[in-house]
């Protein structure tokens, strides 16, 4: 299967970054930042940054929070999306592009249609260092080739590794972040993922989705392309 011809996805205009603040790091703050993170991405929304500082200060003095990823420009999100698409294309050479895209969305947020919390400065990827060494988490950061291993509550890790993940979880959730349970390192607050996991705005009782068909609401589907109907998932 030739995956060289991908559907075009275009960069949208650059956002206003004036509402983001640089991450304070160093021994005083018990926060370090991965050297690979570009300077323009070492930012967060002010309230998220304050939560991060509080979380770090809750750790013992010999520990610090280490930041892998914070704010992402759309171009950085694109680079991660494209890299994963290529990896999946090699791993599943006979699969059609729509299937690969669906797989990719499980690992990397769509840079255009469903942007990551990172793109809004509301998500952050972290681990804990103790005595200048990273705790053993039993799975490498962003190693999407091992989904069962990187899930926060993976049954494949050791007791110590599980305890280490819970140390990060307790530290971050103690100040209000939520963890994306498919990635032990990912935490966010008041982004799309946070709202979904908190059931924010949901009805008290489960809604029957069949009552909300496109045709029932807007007078039928005549003239609506199959592609559009598939995208909306209204059938």
Query: Which structural domain range is residue 143 located in?
Result: 17-197
Indicate the pLDDT class of residue 233, thresholds 50, 70 and 90: very low
Dist CA 65 CA 57 (whole Å): 9
Residue 6 maps to a domain: no
**Lookup: tokens for 110:** 């769509």
Dist CA 78 CA 110 (whole Å): 8
The answer to whether residues 28 and 138 belong to one domain is yes
The answer to whether residues 216 and 193 belong to one domain is no
> pLDDT tens digits, residue range 8-44?
455 555 556 778 999 999 999 999 999 999 999 999 9
The answer to whether residues 167 and 113 belong to one domain is yes
Residue 125 maps to a domain: yes
How high is the pLDDT of residue 60? 97
The answer to whether residues 104 and 139 belong to one domain is yes
The answer to whether residues 55 and 171 belong to one domain is yes
Is the full-model pTM beyond 0.85? Answer: no
Residue 4 maps to a domain: no
The answer to whether residues 71 and 45 belong to one domain is yes
The answer to whether residues 102 and 145 belong to one domain is yes
How high is the pLDDT of residue 198? 72
Residue 215 maps to a domain: yes
Residue 172 maps to a domain: yes
Residue 8 maps to a domain: no
Structural domains of the chain, count: 2
Give the range with max mean pLDDT: 108-117, 167-176, 186-195: 167-176
The answer to whether residues 130 and 178 belong to one domain is yes
How high is the pLDDT of residue 183? 96
The answer to whether residues 40 and 77 belong to one domain is yes
How high is the pLDDT of residue 194? 76
Indicate the pLDDT class of residue 197, thresholds 50, 70 and 90: confident
Which own/partner contact pairs does 217-226 have at CB distance under 8 Å and 24+ positions apart? none
Residue 149 maps to a domain: yes
Residues whose CB is less than 8 angstroms from the CB of residue 168 and which lie 6 or more positions away in sequence, other chains included: 126, 127, 128, 135, 137, 184, 185
Answer whether residue 162 shows pLDDT above 80.
yes
CATH number of the domain where residue 64 is located = 3.30.1380.10
How high is the pLDDT of residue 85? 92
């Amino acid at each position: 299967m030739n995956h060289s011809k991908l559907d075009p996805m275009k960069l949208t205009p650059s956002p206003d970054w004036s509402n983001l603040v640089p991450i304070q790091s160093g021994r005083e703050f018990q926060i370090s930042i991965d050297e690979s993170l570009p300077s323009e991405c070492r930012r967060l929304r002010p309230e998220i940054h304050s939560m991060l500082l509080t979380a770090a200060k809750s750790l013992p003095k010999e520990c610090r929070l280490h930041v892998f990823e914070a704010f992402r420009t759309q171009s950085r999100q694109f680079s991660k999306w494209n890299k994963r698409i290529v990896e999946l294309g090699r791993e599943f050479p006979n699969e059609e592009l729509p299937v690969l895209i669906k797989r990719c969305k499980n690992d990397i947020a769509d840079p255009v249609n469903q942007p990551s919390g990172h793109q809004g400065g509301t998500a952050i990827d972290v681990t804990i260092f103790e005595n200048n060494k990273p705790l053993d988490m039993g799975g490498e950061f962003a190693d999407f080739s091992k989904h069962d291993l990187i899930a926060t509550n993976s049954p494949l890790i050791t007791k110590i590794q599980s305890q280490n993940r819970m140390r990060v979880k307790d530290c971050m959730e103690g100040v209000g972040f939520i963890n994306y349970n498919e990635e032990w390192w990912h935490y966010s607050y008041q982004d799309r993922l946070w709202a979904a996991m908190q059931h924010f705005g949901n009805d008290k009782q489960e809604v029957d989705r069949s009552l909300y068909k496109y045709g029932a609401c807007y007078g039928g589907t005549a003239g609506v392309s199959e592609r559009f109907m598939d995208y909306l998932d209204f059938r």
